């Protein structure tokens, strides 16, 4: 399972609209919010996907790509969600039936945008 500080594995999935998405098209360019939903349909998963898509513009305002899929991604449970910076470092990961609200995910994305690697001692 992926944890904070891990790197997102490169993946290819189909988004809920059926379009193929490759992580390589986002990596090093934009932050990432990746939500994996169980392969079987459910009211809870459908509601969550709908809430995410309704607020997709809010993620884009923070240079973040939102990907929602039913396809499996190595290291991320379904249901699960992760937030990663543009370099692929996982900043937050959650799984299980009680995924973070869309507002909480946007707050995480805002944090990623404000984060200062030099201030965190990552610069040499």
What is the residue-averaged pLDDT of the chain?
92
pLDDT at 117: 62
pLDDT at 29: 96
Q: Residue 119's pLDDT band (boundaries 50, 70, 90)?
A: low
pLDDT of 122 higher than 60:
no
pLDDT of 124 higher than 50:
no
Q: Tell how far CA 116 is from the center of its chain.
A: 20
Can you give the pTM of this predicted structure?
0.91
Tens of pLDDT, residues 23-74? 999 999 999 999 999 988 888 899 999 999 999 999 999 999 999 999 999 9
The rounded distance, in Å, linking the Cα atoms of 7 and 16 is 24
CA angle 18, 24, 27 (to 5 degrees): 115
- Structural domains of the chain in order of their starting residue, each with its CATH number: 12-114 (3.40.30.10)
């Amino acid at each position: 399972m992926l944890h904070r500080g891990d790197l997102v594995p490169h993946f290819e999935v189909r988004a809920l609209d059926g379009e193929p998405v490759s992580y390589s098209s986002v990596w090093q360019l934009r932050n990432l919010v990746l939500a994996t939903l169980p392969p079987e349909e459910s009211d809870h998963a459908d509601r969550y996907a709908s809430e995410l898509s309704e607020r997709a513009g809010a993620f884009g305002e923070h240079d973040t790509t939102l990907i929602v899929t039913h396809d499996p991604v190595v290291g991320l449970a379904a249901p699960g969600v992760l937030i990663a910076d543009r370099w692929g470092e996982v900043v937050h990961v959650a799984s299980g039936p009680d995924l973070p609200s869309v507002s909480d995910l946007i707050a995480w994305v805002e944090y990623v945008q404000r984060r200062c690697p030099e201030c965190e001692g990552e610069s040499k």
